[in-house]
Structure 1
Amino acid sequence: MDPLHDVLTLLGTTGHVSASMVAGGSWAVEFEAPVGIKFNAVRRGHCWLRVDGAAEALPLAPDDCYLLTRSRSYTLFSDPEAVPAPARSIFLAAADGVARTGTGDDFAAIGGAFHFGERARPLLLDALPPVVYVPSAAAEAATLHWAIEQVDTELRQQRAAAGLVAEHLALVMLIQVLRHHLAADARATTGWLAGLGDPVVAVALREMHKRPAHKWTVAELARAASVSRSTLAARFRAVVGRAPLEYLIDWRVELAADRLRRTDDTLAAIAQQVGYGSESALSVAVKRVTGHTPRAHRHPQ
């Protein structure tokens, strides 16, 4: 199995595309800290992105995209001297799905948000920098541009199931942004996500995700990756931040917690499904990794 696919699926990842924004002249728009992670793509024109806590503003050009992975307020602006207008009021006044500010329409952007389950931060978001930037020249940008065009068309024409199509296309955009980040800036990535960019560690990760209940040993994983046991152990810890079997234990817990949320299987049955020898051993591990007892994960409201 593909670890990125597994995690995004387990987290119940959903995408939502919001209204487009058009601006012109001297303008600035201040956005509240988003829930989940925020995505924006510049359709035309230029602007700057200033994120709360960042040392410098990021210049944005046509077809540039970015992902905000922390709940921080941010400002888009054409003029650093412009007084920021609150985004909430601008988007509440949007007509035909387009919010407008400033004078003219030399700038346009489309944005959306991604929402995840409660384990998103430790499993995915903490492994990413606060801002993931995808320039228009990036290899993944072509697919992003295509998806953005399709989303824009769906939202403007409002054909049958347009919202559902836009949501699925939003997930395509998220995956492309993550792919770009892994290929272009692996040093800014930590944990298992960084491991996907390492040819040796990635093999071990894929093997463990393919058969999480298997009684893996480091030697067996090393053979799969065509390296020595000591090489795999050292490289995995250096890249991911923990030993291979420590990662496996934690991933089994995430799978168990997901089954508790989604099924009526007994804890004993789930323990067997994910590779734990006993119900009690799984209970201890779930409490240690997630901070909650197995009962707390059962069908949460």
Structure 2
Amino acid sequence: MDPLEDVLDLLETRSHLSTSLIAGGEWAVRFDAPLDVKFNAVRRGHCWLEVEGHGAPIELAAGDCYLLTRPRPFTLRSSPKAPEVDARTVFARAEHGVARTGTGDDVLLIGGRFTFSEPGQELLLASLPPVIHLPAGTAHAETVEWALTVIERELLLRPVASDLVAEHLAMVMLVYVLRLHLAREPQSVSGWLAGMTDPAVAAALTSLHEEPARPWTVAELARAGAVSRSTLAARFKQTVGQGPLEYLTQWRIHLASQKLRKSNDTIGSIARITGYGSESAMSTAFKRVTGVSPSVYRRRHADSVDA
């Protein structure tokens, strides 16, 4: 796996499709701050997106899509002066998976949300800007458009297993949106995701993710990126925000956290899997990063699942 695959898998990323929205005339729908990463795509017509704290409204045209990566209230509207209606009121009247507002059917939006396991989700979300807008016609955006077209067809025609197909396609769309955003606006991301835009740093990150238990040195990682040790150290720090071995420690702790939550493996076994020579070595690193020992962490998450 590459780092993006690793992180999406570690976070147990899931897609969930929501009720579609048809609108026409003068209209505006105000939404509460989403708890998860929200996405919408305009399949026909055009409208405006306003996100609290983001600045100027974003004009959305047919084929555009966007991701909201922070829990901020937002409004979709036909024009700046359209009277607002609470989304809960609009969607409470939905029928057959479609909500309606305004007069007519000039605009069709489909959407949903992406959920992640709570521990560690900042691995992805902290690297992203609050709003990612992907306009139609963007270079290499054809696959996103294809996925959205098939999702719309699945939702409208409802063949067998339509929800499953549509949700898997939404995951494809997420990966492509992140890829295209990285290619188009690399300066707007931070952390390990920003490192993926630098070939030498990306090679080092891939090596770390392929063999997290290996006792890596900066010199070995530099050879993977075909640069000098000092060059890799400087570029890794500049893009990712920490040194390669600091990053490796945090990634190992994320892997160990998942094992503690999801398996019955002993702490000593998890220590060996994640590259620590002993249980005490992992416990020391784990407590330094998370603030608690592995045993306390496992007990807390076991208690929360029971509750």
Residue pair 2:120, 2:254 contacting (<8 A) in 1 also: no
Q: Map 1:1-301; keep pairs closer than 5 Å.
A: 1-295=1-295, 296-297=297-298, 300=302, 301=305
Sequence identity (%): 56
Residue pair 1:140, 1:177 contacting (<8 A) in 2 also: no
Per the TM alignment, residue 178 of structure 1 is displaced from its structure 2 partner at its CA by: 0.5
Moved more, 151-160 or 39-48: 151-160
**Equivalent-residue separation in structure 1 for 2:97 and 2:192 (angstroms):** 38
Listed as ranges, the gaps of 5+ residues in structure 1 are: none
Work out the number of aligned pairs and report it: 301
TM-score norm. by structure 2 comes to 0.95
Residue identity matched to 2:133:
Y
Residue pair 1:27, 1:102 contacting (<8 A) in 2 also: yes
- 1:100-125: CA deviations, max 9, x gaps? 11111111111110000113442110
Residue pair 2:28, 2:85 contacting (<8 A) in 1 also: yes
Instruction: Quote the RMSD (CA, aligned, Å).
Output: 1.2
- 1:204-225: CA deviations, max 9, x gaps? 0000101000010000111111
Residue identity matched to 1:201:
V
Residue identity matched to 1:52:
E
Residue pair 1:22, 1:108 contacting (<8 A) in 2 also: yes
**Equivalent-residue separation in structure 1 for 2:251 and 2:121 (angstroms):** 14
**Equivalent-residue separation in structure 2 for 1:255 and 1:122 (angstroms):** 14
Give the 3-state SS of the residue equivalent to 1:117 in structure 2: coil
Structure 1 residues 120, 215: closer, same or farther in 2, change over 3 A?
A: closer
Listed as ranges, the gaps of 5+ residues in structure 2 are: none
Residue pair 1:50, 1:56 contacting (<8 A) in 2 also: yes
**Equivalent-residue separation in structure 1 for 2:298 and 2:133 (angstroms):** 35
TM-score norm. by structure 1 comes to 0.97
Give the 3-state SS of the residue equivalent to 1:124 in structure 2: helix
Residue identity matched to 1:57:
P
Per the TM alignment, residue 281 of structure 1 is displaced from its structure 2 partner at its CA by: 2.0
Per the TM alignment, residue 284 of structure 1 is displaced from its structure 2 partner at its CA by: 2.5
Per the TM alignment, residue 285 of structure 1 is displaced from its structure 2 partner at its CA by: 2.1
Per the TM alignment, residue 165 of structure 1 is displaced from its structure 2 partner at its CA by: 1.2
Per the TM alignment, residue 235 of structure 1 is displaced from its structure 2 partner at its CA by: 0.5
Residue pair 1:24, 1:107 contacting (<8 A) in 2 also: yes
- 1:218-265: CA deviations, max 9, x gaps? 001111111000000000000000000000010001111111111111
Per the TM alignment, residue 43 of structure 1 is displaced from its structure 2 partner at its CA by: 0.5
- 1:50-75: CA deviations, max 9, x gaps? 00111111111110110000000100
